[in-house]
Structure 1
């Protein structure tokens, strides 16, 4: 159904005259007549009866009028939902328990007036495509991956370097350590199910394992964080990596240990990725908030990141 014809119909019904409706819509009376005639053909009924005073809705026209008004209200709401400045700022945080989610919660507390849509896209290709299409305004990612430069219309700003911790069960050989040097992890099995081949975090852990001789396994199905915690708690031979900002809760009886990794500290580099010409008015506020947070955070001295992320 032609929404312009519906809008014209409502204007005529409210004005009572084709000429008055044409003036209100800033079109010719001929254009109004053509739109009404086309709408009547689509509906198969007459909508107006000519009178000496102008035009009055027929019985069918009166029945259609409230629905026509509702059609226009829905169309206006639909347009407003994607109009820059009227729709929420859409940001991809990959998962709800990591550093990116924490940064966005901090931003929301500082800017409660900014409406947000938080989404979680696992694959960097999907995130890049969403940003370029405009369905997402920004994404937190580790960039740029080897052999995969960013498209020229995107930009990335480093916002936080997140140190890694080792998570072990109570019977693990390193469970009593206050810190563990990275070199001492060689020979220990580090289990990280769910690493996607070709993902930026997959490339990160591949580089980490290669440089320090680590054994990082991603075998088995990924049943989520609860199943991972169950396995780590019950299996002395396994440990896993967890970001310092990752927030997970487990039963007290699990006796899990979070141990900072040192010498060097492996850090995961989070950047904010967005289109250079994204016009959303809240995006500069988000960038300024993240820049201020970065400026007040002590840098990780001697931290390790892959060469492709430097």
Structure 2
């Protein structure tokens, strides 16, 4: 159905005059007449009777008027739902406790007027598909991992190089260290149960293990952060890596230690991804906020996989 014709019909019905409706719609009276005539043909009824006083609704016109108004209200709601700036900015942060969530929290504190929808998608392939379909506006990922390249219509901005820390229980051999070097980690078992094949974080830790001859194990199910903390606290032979900005809380009795890693410091390269045709005004605000707070990348004394180097 032609919504311009429906809107014109409602304008004539409310004004009672074709000429007044034309003035309200900023079109000619002839255009108003043509739109109404086309609508009458499509409905196969007469909607108005012309009288000396103007245009009066027929019985069919009276029956159609409330439905026409509802059609226009529904159309206006549909347009508003997708109009840039009228809907929430939809951002994928992967998981709730890690650095991307902290970055989005900082953006929200700086821009509380911007409505946000925060989602958690699994891998970079799922996130890119959601960006291209418009299901989300932005995603935090590590690029460009080995495998399919990021499509040309997806833009990226490297926003944070997050240092890794070693997390140990109180009885671990390295628990008393104020810091550890990558060389000292050789021979120790690093347990990372969340390493799923094909994900960017698995590609990162595979590269880390190969570069520094680390023993990284992904055995057992991934039962979440609490189960990971319980196991590391109770098992002296296991340690794990966590990001320096990962927010974790554990019982006092666990006695867990977060230990900085150096020589070099492995950093996880977080990038913001978005579709180049996305015109949501809040997306530009998010990019500007992250760019202003970024501390650069590829600093001396840090390490990232070769596939992440040079990513802007």
Aligned length: 303
DSSP 3-state at the match of 1:266 = strand
Deviations 1:192-224 (A, max 9, x none): 222221111110001011111222222222222
The Cα of 1:86 is off from its aligned counterpart by 2.9
RMSD: 2.8
Question: Partners of 1:21 and 1:112 in 2: how far apart?
Answer: 42
Shifted more, 106-115 versus 25-34: the winner is: 25-34
DSSP 3-state at the match of 2:273 = strand
The Cα of 1:113 is off from its aligned counterpart by 2.8
DSSP 3-state at the match of 1:282 = helix
From the superposition, tell whether residues 227 and 61 of structure 1 become closer, same or farther in structure 2 (CA, over 3 Å).
farther
The Cα of 1:24 is off from its aligned counterpart by 4.7
1:30 maps to 2:34: yes
Question: Partners of 1:168 and 1:89 in 2: how far apart?
Answer: 38
What does residue 155 of structure 1 align with? 155
Q: Is the 8 A contact 2:47 2:57 kept in 1?
A: yes
Question: Partners of 1:259 and 1:141 in 2: how far apart?
Answer: 25
Deviations 1:168-189 (A, max 9, x none): 2222222222222222222222
DSSP 3-state at the match of 1:131 = helix
The Cα of 1:104 is off from its aligned counterpart by 1.6
Question: Partners of 1:16 and 1:194 in 2: how far apart?
Answer: 68
The Cα of 1:260 is off from its aligned counterpart by 1.4
- Unaligned 5+ residue runs, structure 1? none
What does residue 13 of structure 2 align with? 13
Q: Is the 8 A contact 1:156 1:274 kept in 2?
A: yes
From the superposition, tell whether residues 16 and 268 of structure 1 become closer, same or farther in structure 2 (CA, over 3 Å).
same
Q: Is the 8 A contact 1:162 1:270 kept in 2?
A: yes
- Unaligned 5+ residue runs, structure 2? none
What does residue 226 of structure 2 align with? 226
Question: Partners of 2:61 and 2:262 in 1: how far apart?
Answer: 76
Deviations 1:266-306 (A, max 9, x none): 110111222334333333332222222124x7985411111
1:202 maps to 2:202: yes
The Cα of 1:64 is off from its aligned counterpart by 5.7
Q: Is the 8 A contact 1:159 1:271 kept in 2?
A: yes
The Cα of 1:12 is off from its aligned counterpart by 3.6
1:305 maps to 2:304: yes
Q: Is the 8 A contact 2:192 2:240 kept in 1?
A: yes
Q: TM-score, normalised by structure 2?
A: 0.84
The Cα of 1:3 is off from its aligned counterpart by 4.5
